[in-house]
């Protein structure tokens, strides 16, 4: 599953980079929790939590069966 998550993160990366940010995959647990680290402008941005949950998490759940949650590491 980690490879599929990494590929899906590559799909969302350009939209984050367009706003001066980035995302890095840290880990995928056996129960489907994806840990990521937001970087650049995304790190500390007031909208980061919404981006993480309504953007990244929603997309990963649609693209990768078994993803249950996305959290910031």
Whether the per-residue pLDDT at 34 is higher than 90: the answer is yes
Burial class (CB in 10 A: 0-12, 13-18, 19+), 64: buried
Out of 3.40.50.300, 3.30.300.130, 2.60.40.10, 3.30.9.10, which CATH number does the structure's domain 2-72 have?
3.30.300.130
What pLDDT does residue 44 have? Answer: 80
H-only helix segments in the chain = 2-18, 48-50, 58-63
Are the CB atoms for 36 and 49 separated by under 8 Å? no
Q: What is the pTM of this model?
A: 0.92
Average pLDDT over every residue of 10-17? 94
The residue extents of the domains of the chain are: 2-72
Average pLDDT over every residue of 13-42? 94
The order of strands in the sheet holding 33-40 is 21-28, 33-40, 69-72
Whole-number percent of the chain with pLDDT over 70: 100
pLDDT tens-digit readout, 36-66: 999 998 888 888 888 899 999 999 999 999 9
């Amino acid at each position: 599953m980690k490879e599929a998550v990494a590929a899906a993160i590559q799909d969302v990366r350009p939209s984050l980079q367009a706003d001066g940010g980035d995302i890095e995959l840290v880990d995928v647990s056996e129960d489907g929790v994806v840990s990521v680290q937001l970087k650049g402008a995304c790190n500390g941005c007031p909208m980061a939590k919404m981006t993480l949950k309504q953007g990244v998490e929603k997309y990963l759940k649609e693209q990768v069966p078994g993803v249950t949650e996305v959290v910031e590491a």
